[in-house]
Structure 1
Amino acid sequence: MPNIKKILIANRGEIALRVMRTAREMGIKTVAIYSEADRKALHVRYADEAFCVGPPPSKESYLRMDAIIDVAEQAGADAIHPGYGFLSENAAFAAKVAKAGLIFIGPSPASIEVMGSKLAAKEAVSHYNIPMVPGIQTAITDIPKAKKQAAEVGYPILIKASAGGGGKGMRIVNEESEFEEQMQRAISEAESAFGDGAVFIEKYITSPRHIEVQVLGDQHGNAIHLFERECSIQRRHQKVIEEAPSSVYGEEKRKAIGEAAVRVAKACDYYGAGTVEFIVDENLDFFFLEMNTRLQVEHPVTEQITGIDLVRQQILVAEGKPLEIKQEDLKIHGHSLEVRVYAEDPANSFLPDIGKLVTYVRPQGLGVRVDDGFEEGMDIPIYYDPMIAK
């Protein structure tokens, strides 16, 4: 089994620093990459070596797969950690890394690909007894037939454009008398927005919660879950506050959702750290939504309640070692809450903002953890995510 001696972190900011801290604790050397805008960034100063990969825009720097792999080879790194965002869920990048003879600290390209498509993911997990949102997952334009299907699913239902996105071609129908009118509207909206009028039908979940489960698998077929995180507080479809564990789940539901998440991981032979997302209805029943094949922004809340370093586990799994933790060893210690801190202008609809960080004081004290990538006096660049800290 290979022992990783030097890791290139294909990312920036707080997640790059987060990965480097664990690598340093494990005695592993680190290589940073940076764009011209990040020349003075903390992750560049913290790493053992740092290389510029291009101008500020991401596509000219942090998204340049071949340039990043070239730097890894030049620096003598034997592995690449993608962090989250950028290339972390890019199956082509994972394949290129492996082809270059380097270790990708993450799942296989095949797992990334399957879970990257919502319909392929649903198909993959459908054989593993995973609860799904009730509905008809095939496209339809025939109104009488669709009406019959809607009655089978049970109202309220959601009509969704098959080719859709951004809420277009989507209609909530509360009762049968509204169905035909809403179906026609959804079809015409889908036709004008996407040139495709096909829609599908699923149960509409009222007052939904968003609960996700942290999973960990190795390359020997073992998989465990590290309990759930509550991520229902969102704005513009972005999570802003996350906590672990969820305050609505008792022991029985917690065990059930955790076991379902492990089955999802097994459905795609998953290894490494991943997150299975569920939508939860008012009866607290859960339904599979999707899987994120990477470390999440909110992974620290899970680390806080379990005492497990997820980055360390990712590295050990990438080295081919079997999981050192068993499900029965894991216990929840206390409760953890994560708040994201953004550079935004409250006077302008809380849109991302830039400029000098004039005052920046980190909170300190027992039980407080701050993951960040900035310090006082630094400039917030325009090119990247506006999150300063969490």
Structure 2
Amino acid sequence: MTSQPTAARPWPPGMAHPFAPDGRRNPFPAFRWLRAESPVHYDPFMRFWLLSRHADCAAALRDPAFSAALGQDQRQRDDQLPASMLSTDPPEHDRLRGPGMALLGPAAVRALAGDLEEEADRLLDGLEAGPGGEIDAHRDLGEPYARAVLARALGLPRAEWEAFGQLAGAVSVNLDPLGGPAAIQASRLARTELARLLGAAPAVRPAELTRAELLEMLSLVVIGGYEPLAVLIGNTLFCLLSRPRLAERVRLGDTALAATAVEEVTRLHGPIPFTARVTTAAAELPGGVIPPGARVLALLSSANRDELVFDRPDEPVIDRSPNPHLAYSSGPHFCLGAALVRQAAALLVPAFLRRFPGARLPPEDAGWAASLVPRRRVSYGLRLA
């Protein structure tokens, strides 16, 4: 066994903690310090162990001693999510996850390719700039596209899409472990309505799930897919348009380059920056030993910029391959919707750049928001010409 890692190291003076408001806007200096000086770090203020290197995060995500079910219990919320893929460990997790693969596995997503391309074209055909020739890449592109993508995947009739989008936005507060009381209450009400709407969808009817389990699985698809996809669209466009040569390469490139470009922005600016676990036994990681009963945060956004794994880790290398980032997690809880999000974003982003080759960012950069989850920009306004 390796020696116990250094615990409770003092935070460097003047450096923003990655979970303080300033640190949320730019956590990367803190992440670099953690990776270099204290990669398996006990934070006495948060009472969590923070994993910042790729090797430690990847190992924890695959090790059954790190319980995702107990990790979900660490949310500072007064609501209890029903049993689902997110809040269970194997073997129960495997039973609940299996039917989801019929809905969102690679084969199912490949079959949706034509539908997603049609929705991307429909959205861009109807895109209208506001005053000053501006649009909001999140409101005008990301959200309506995420609504269309998920509605298609779930088999919802188009007449239900407007209501579905409103409910999807409301339930997305479940991504934030620190969501406020008003948002949580609105989310509860929306979840009830969403379950009623999804109950009529013909997407899947697996015999091995109860109706309640089925509806929870479908709701989780919405919570885990809607806002992350919408934010990823905006993050990708802002990353590329801030570097016009990269945007031009994607605009003129093939589908493979579009896919690797989206994957690279997902590495750099993934919407889900961390995931929680609790150890059920002492667990050895490459960087040290975590004691039993420990609350652990795998800092995915830090792992994705680990200098030991990624060359030029803070730069967008749009043809990076391989790209072993952890933005979709790893192990048993690898994101079920990853294939859908990847394909959908890789269709819309280059289509937008081809349709609007003069698109550019506003002169002033509003920067990143201090929100916790998802990681997003303060605003997504951009000019079409």
Verify same fold: TM over 0.5.
Answer: no
Taking structure 1 as the reference length, what is the TM-score of the superposition? 0.22
Taking structure 2 as the reference length, what is the TM-score of the superposition? 0.22
- Which is helix-richer, 1 or 2? 2
